[in-house]
Structure 1
Amino acid sequence: MSAVLLDYGRVLRERWRWVVWGALLAVGAAVVVLLLAPPLYRSTATVFIRTPGDVSRAVDGGDSYAQHRAGNYVELADSTDLAARVVGDLGIDLAPETLAGRTTATNRPGTVLIDVAVDAPTAGEAQRTLTVFLPEYAAAVHALETVTGSVVPRAELVVVNDPSLPTRVSFWGTPPLAVLLGACLVGMLLGATGAVLRSIFDRSVRDPRDAARITGRPVLGTIGDWHAGTTIENARLIRRRLLSVMGDPDRGVIAVAEPAARSATAAAAVVLADALRVQGDSVILVDLDQDSWELTKLFGVQGLPGITDVLLGHAVVLEAVQASGNGPLLGAGSATDYPRDPIDLNAVLDIVVELREHYDWVVLACPSAVVADAIVGAVGTIVLVVRHGVTTEDELLDTSASLPAATTVAVIVDQVPEPSAVKVFRSGERTSAR
């Protein structure tokens, strides 16, 4: 299979909602039109062209003559003169042109059979009109095929299928079910086209390989798509890649940040902490994102002592550490009078140094890559979180370029659909930390 087709397939898998919404909107529009459009019913019948005159004694029994004349009879079926006579017989207030427009005739290829259909606003009118139409149609053909001095006409019409029970039709005579199916297919096609066009102009990162290409940094893996029974294996893989980037240390500091202020930093920090904890290492999470305190909210430790209490001198570091469902956590804190200005990086660095004395790994959820670099650029590693389909190529490129070349940086791709429901590792099973 060509690479182009594979790319189209990937786009449709990622943007399948476009296809679904296209189908739903198209079917919905078709339903509205069907409900608002005046009802139309159709009755059909079949006539046979018989050649009772001299032409029937030809070698082919007059079949060639009948087939040759069939096209003329089809054209005759929707003539206004014939329609005027039918309207007169019915005694209805209807313009002959309208009835002619509702009448269709089709010659079956290779035969002398003509299918005649008449449409009308009601089922009864459709069948009644066709019943009156057929004799007038046959009379018109009889008059055209009668030669002076001949007892019988050269051709005549014989009804072989009487007018059928009317069925409702719409859109050029198409049954409603076919209309809905057609609308569904058209909607899916339009949705797929929209998905492809959106993908062409979409500058967001959707492939880990693109993240590696843009940053020039290794990709640890993807998070947010863990399946029960495989979480430990995935955690070990991320741990192995991370330690390889860091030079295989036994302990260290890892700062997690996004190119733009969003809510994926906390999710990635949790996953990295779990990955580091797989081998039994002690790990502490620290919430430094004063813009959202997402990590603190995630584990429900709002109002408890945390980093702001330490920074204001209201508590010592170890007293502010809280036990969460995912291990030790130094959350936002209970101090409400801490300024919203940028956090005191020197004081934070002192806190990190103290935490390193008590834990193998310190994982920091930072508000930005700049803050992360200021804290751990010289002593630790920065992990950039790329939000699948959200982080743009320009954001990632600018952030990566702003970090010093000497800084150890890795990338992790976040595919968590809802940041409030973060998948974490616990005994190899998938759970949710809220």
Structure 2
Amino acid sequence: MELRDYLHILRKNWLVIVALTLVGIGAAAAYSLTRTPLYESQSSVFVSTQTSTGSVSELTQGSNFSLDRVPTYVLVATSPLVLDPVIDQLGLDTTATELAESISVSSPLSSAIINISVEDSDPQLAADIANATASQLADAVEEIETTSGAATSPVKLTVIRAGIPGTAPVSPNVPLNLVVGALFGIVLGVAVAILRTVLDTKIRSPRDVTALTERPIIGVIPFDPKATERPLILDADPHGARAESFRALRTNLQFIEFDGGQTFVVTSSIPSEGKSTTAVNLAIALADAGKRVALIDTDLRKPKVAEYLGIEGAVGLTDVLIGRVKVQDVMGPWGRRPLYVLPAGKVPPNPSELLGSSQMKALLEEFGKSFDVVLCDAPPLLPVTDAAVLSKLTAGAIIVAATGKTSTGQLAGALDALDTVGSKVAGLVMTMAPTRGPDSYLYGYGYGYGGYGQDSK
């Protein structure tokens, strides 16, 4: 993915990221509030070596000896030899091992100073433990370093800084915890956003289509929440963005040249992707441009063309194919345009056989000679084979894919169904594309698209 893809993911999932960030901050705040405040106190001792003459060489040797011994004394500071007397002195109800967990002993590099830090919920007790540990460490070192026969130890530990009670707790560090919680929430939110995008198989942009197939996208129809109430958008709102998108589809379709002429099947992968409204409005747009158009409702299972155009559909294509009526008796003009409509008629028991029959082939050939463009509104490709059978008799298929509804697998299945029968794909039309929101994309029509919604069949 490119940088703009990640920016799009962040924009689309900003609510998730913000929510998880707040959760992270809340968890950090809850953790901080439930922790017992700890106060720190620190005492320091200086390690020196006593000499007899005070000469430079002895002082140098003593200094080197002290530096060599400091790491050892750091370890001795948390040993029972030091901490058991501290416990007895302060009357603590603990063990040397438990007490050592609250004591931190360190020494700066190449330094003869040992720092003893103690953390405790009682600031005064922390100071008392730090001071007692420093004092007992000095006694323990003197005992260890005093050799047999010697009166005193050559090493002396001097307390140079006594521990004092802390005025503010050092733990929990509320600001730091909140920052860590916020960062964790942001990272988790971004990870969830990316995971959602990776697992999302819905078609949401032209890039999803172009990644799946090389067939051209010849139209993008924006989402209309009132599509079921006004399927004929070119009549209901002729100057709107959705009407203009059908005109753009018309223009693109006119540039497509096939050996079989301008006879197309309009279909989709699954139901409710807007293929019938696309077929009807495209037919109207072509007729508005002066084209002589034949619109045939070849969806012999759930016909919609007659309903959308407000015409009688009881008798139609089915009756023509079985020879009950002549085509001129049931096919007539619609409106004041050169648009002629042949409704589906009664639903037959054998739609696929009728659509693949020689009568249907002869009818389409006749229409191809009499009309500039022939559009056949066919059923979806995945549930039934009608559209695939019919597409063999036409120049190509126009596949409608609903943005945010159709999955890449469903569209791939529809394309495979056409490839199996050797049919051509004239192009793809993306429907239900939102004009606002993070999934909106400019596509050259002056409106945004990319999301999802509901459309008519």
TM-score in terms of structure 2 length:
0.57
**Which of 218, 231, 235 is residue 216 of structure 2 equivalent to?**
218
Corresponding residue of 2:426? 409
Within-5 A mapping of 1:331-410: 364=377, 366-368=379-381, 370-372=385-387, 378-379=393-394, 381-386=396-401, 391=406, 394-403=409-418, 404-410=421-427
Q: 1:418 to 1:241 in 2, by over 3 A?
A: closer
Instruction: Please state how far the C-alpha of 1:47 moved relative to its aligned partner.
Output: 4.0
Deviation per CA, 1:366-387: give whole Å up to 9, x if none.
5347444556664564222345
Q: Is the CA contact (8 Å cut-off) linking 2:273 and 2:400 kept in structure 1?
A: no
SS of equivalent to 1:383? strand
**Which of 107, 130, 134 is residue 130 of structure 2 equivalent to?**
134
Corresponding residue of 2:140? 144
Residues of 1 paired with 2:66 and 2:435: CA distance?
Answer: 72
Q: 1:280 to 1:112 in 2, by over 3 A?
A: farther
Instruction: Please state how far the C-alpha of 1:136 moved relative to its aligned partner.
Output: 1.1
Instruction: Please state how far the C-alpha of 1:133 moved relative to its aligned partner.
Output: 1.4
- Letter matched to residue 415 of structure 2: S
Corresponding residue of 1:104? 104
- Letter matched to residue 218 of structure 1: P
Q: Number of residues paired by the alignment?
A: 396
Residues of 1 paired with 2:410 and 2:416: CA distance?
Answer: 10
Deviation per CA, 1:349-381: give whole Å up to 9, x if none.
999x99x99997868485347444556664564
SS of equivalent to 2:255? helix
- Letter matched to residue 215 of structure 2: R
Deviation per CA, 1:323-360: give whole Å up to 9, x if none.
xxxxx9x9x99x9xx879887977xx999x99x99997
Instruction: Please state how far the C-alpha of 1:11 moved relative to its aligned partner.
Output: 6.7
Q: Is the CA contact (8 Å cut-off) linking 2:45 and 2:160 kept in structure 1?
A: yes
Deviation per CA, 1:208-261: give whole Å up to 9, x if none.
577457555333366659xxx999998887555433324599x96654432233
Q: Is the CA contact (8 Å cut-off) linking 1:231 and 1:430 kept in structure 2?
A: no
1:261 aligns to 2:271 (yes or no): yes
Q: Out of 359-368 and 175-184, give the one that drifted further.
A: 359-368
Q: 1:48 to 1:86 in 2, by over 3 A?
A: closer
- Letter matched to residue 259 of structure 1: S
Q: Out of 232-241 and 104-113, give the one that drifted further.
A: 232-241
Corresponding residue of 1:42? 38
- Letter matched to residue 140 of structure 2: L
Within-5 A mapping of 1:38-77: 38-51=34-47, 53-54=49-50, 67-77=67-77
Corresponding residue of 2:169? 166
Instruction: Please state how far the C-alpha of 1:174 moved relative to its aligned partner.
Output: 10
- Letter matched to residue 105 of structure 2: A
SS of equivalent to 1:169? coil
Residues of 1 paired with 2:454 and 2:202: CA distance?
Answer: 27
Q: 1:40 to 1:414 in 2, by over 3 A?
A: farther
- Letter matched to residue 71 of structure 2: G
Residues of 1 paired with 2:131 and 2:108: CA distance?
Answer: 21
Deviation per CA, 1:171-227: give whole Å up to 9, x if none.
xx994224314523652575478469x56xx877678577457555333366659xx
SS of equivalent to 2:312? helix
Unaligned stretches of 5+ residues in structure 2: 224-239, 317-329
Corresponding residue of 1:300? none
Deviation per CA, 1:44-99: give whole Å up to 9, x if none.
34444424553797667976555544434443454456555555555554455433
Instruction: Please state how far the C-alpha of 1:410 moved relative to its aligned partner.
Output: 1.4
Q: CA RMSD in A?
A: 6.3
- Letter matched to residue 254 of structure 2: L
1:177 aligns to 2:178 (yes or no): yes
